[in-house]
């Protein structure tokens, strides 16, 4: 049964039903309080009532902070996600009660971000955090009444994969214009193996089996170990690298590799070139050598043909040679 009480700030209504905790809320008018009470009583009578008290008394910033402290540290790229969460904490939506946030609110924020020039992929990653936050809050933190406002939100279409090929001449130019002793072998190893910069940066000599010509990657993007066969050129690169006391093959972090690459590209006046293009080039060359999808996927770590297609742009002249 609902009971009403006049308060200085409006009307307080209390709903009591056997088997449920007391539910209380304050409204500006008696009619609003009565309408709300009827909805709650109906839900309790039908056995579908879910308490909204947590969502109505918790602001988004509190949930984001809890997610940052409890969920993010267990993720592989926690520092990157932490950076994105801190950006969300500065968003006006973070000051709102969770119960008041709707898909339209996030759609407006999406549109504002697009006008700021944020890339579709960055938007996708930002909103993926919010979507997972709602899933965790609903499943584990007692926010059963929450509906994920991101689920049906439209996102900008992701651009097609880059088709930039990297020539041996360009790699040589980068090597000539770098001031880093490590970058030269890193570039050659990247284009021979298709490894990501983070994978290269984390390499140790324990990961290399010289006799079998195999390199084991333990720090991969998808979390699975991967074995990379080493070509004769890759073996030559590794044999030219002096051994470090700490057991690492290179003394550069992934970010340091990127900065060194950017500086070398500018000095060599190479346009529209990213370090990741070396991975793209390496994968394409594996196909051009005649390896099939399964073989290339086992080396690159891709699990689907669709993902491999984003990286593969075969030279037409090479296809003509095979056609005869």
Please confirm, yes or no, whether 74 is among the known catalytic residues: no
Q: How far is CA 28 from CA 6, 95, 96, 220, 324, in A?
A: 10, 22, 19, 56, 82
Number of neighbours of residue 98 by Cβ within 10 angstroms: 24
Backbone φ and ψ for 206, nearest 5 degrees, come out as -70, -20
Please confirm, yes or no, whether 196 is among the known catalytic residues: yes
Instruction: Label residue 147 left, alpha or beta by phi (over 0 means left) and psi (-120 to 50 means alpha).
Output: beta
Please confirm, yes or no, whether 255 is among the known catalytic residues: no
Handedness of CA 220, 224, 230, 235 (dihedral sign): positive
Give, in degrees to the nearest 5, the angle at Cα 171 between 168 and 177. 140
| Annotated active-site residue in 25, 226, 279, 285 | 279
Of 221, 95, 103, residue with least CA distance to 155: 103
| Annotated active-site residue in 196, 197, 280, 285 | 196
| Annotated active-site residue in 138, 221, 248, 313 | 221
| Annotated active-site residue in 110, 197, 285, 302 | 302
Q: How far is CA 267 from CA 29, 70, 185, 278, in A?
A: 70, 44, 18, 18
Residue burial 31-51, b: 16+ Cβ < 10 Å; e: rest: eebeebbeebbebbeeeebee
| Annotated active-site residue in 84, 110, 285, 311 | 311
* Residue tagged 């947590």 (tokens): 54
Q: Number of H helices and number of E strands within the chain?
A: 15, 6
Tokens found for residue 206: 């324990």
| Annotated active-site residue in 132, 263, 276, 310 | 276
Please confirm, yes or no, whether 67 is among the known catalytic residues: no
Any idea which residues carry the catalytic annotation?
196, 221, 276, 279, 302, 311
């Amino acid at each position: 049964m609902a009971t009403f009480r006049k308060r200085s700030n409006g009307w307080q209504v209390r709903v009591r039903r056997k088997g449920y905790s007391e539910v209380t809320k304050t409204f500006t008018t008696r009619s609003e309080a009565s309408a709300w009470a009827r909805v709650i009583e109906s839900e309790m009578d039908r056995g579908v009532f879910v308490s909204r008290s947590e969502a109505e008394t918790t602001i988004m910033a509190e949930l984001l902070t809890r997610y940052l402290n409890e969920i993010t540290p267990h993720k592989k790229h926690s520092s990157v996600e932490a950076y994105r969460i801190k950006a969300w904490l500065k968003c006006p939506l973070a000051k709102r009660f969770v119960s008041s946030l709707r898909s339209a609110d996030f759609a407006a924020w999406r549109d504002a971000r697009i006008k700021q020039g944020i890339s579709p992929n960055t938007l996708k990653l930002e909103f993926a955090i919010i979507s997972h936050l709602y899933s965790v809050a609903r499943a584990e933190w007692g926010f059963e009444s929450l509906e994920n406002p991101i689920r049906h939100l439209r996102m900008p279409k992701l651009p097609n994969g880059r088709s930039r090929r990297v020539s041996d001449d360009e790699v040589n130019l980068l090597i000539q214009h770098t001031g880093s002793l490590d970058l030269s072998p890193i570039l050659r190893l990247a284009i021979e193996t298709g490894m990501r910069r983070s994978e290269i940066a984390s390499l140790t000599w324990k990961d290399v089996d010289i006799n079998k010509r195999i390199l084991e990657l333990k720090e991969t993007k998808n979390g699975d170990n991967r074995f990379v066969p080493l070509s004769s050129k890759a073996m030559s690169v590794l044999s030219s690298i002096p051994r470090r006391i700490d057991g690492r093959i290179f003394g550069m972090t992934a970010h340091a590799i990127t900065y060194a690459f950017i500086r070398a590209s500018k000095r060599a006046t190479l346009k529209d070139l990213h370090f990741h293009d070396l991975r793209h080039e390496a994968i394409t060359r594996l196909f051009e050598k005649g390896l099939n999808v399964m073989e290339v996927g086992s080396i690159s770590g891709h699990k689907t043909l669709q993902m491999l297609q984003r990286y593969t742009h075969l030279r037409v002249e090479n296809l003509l040679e095979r056609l005869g």
